[in-house]
Amino acid sequence: METIREGYNRIYGKYKIRLIVYAHLERETPDDCRDSLGDRINYYMRKNICSTFKTENMTNGFYNLAFSYNYMFTTSDVKWI
């Protein structure tokens, strides 16, 4: 996983961090399956951030954006290696 700091967001009053996950599968998988898996990985990553900090009420049903006390998180497409 990689984190990229994208500076302070005045609208939300928080620092923005973009998360990039690198994942690997042992077997060949069609691109549409990888896209679906990547979406699930990102969804649960954002959801767990919100659950940890009890900020579910600050976001939508996709947990995009995800918030902690001082940061807001977005995710990029999963990079398959």
Average model confidence (pLDDT) for the chain? 96
Structure tokens at 57: 């009420």
The pTM of this model reads 0.91
Give the separation between CA 68 and CA 48, rounded to whole angstroms: 10
How big is the chain, counted in residues?
A: 81
Show the beta-strand stretches assigned E in the chain: 2-9, 14-20, 22-23, 66-67, 71-75, 79-80
For residue range 53-76, list pLDDT tens digits in order. Answer: 999 999 999 999 999 999 999 999
Q: Going by C-beta distance under 8 Å and a sequence separation of 6 or more, which residues neighbour residue 80?
A: 22, 23, 24, 25, 34, 38
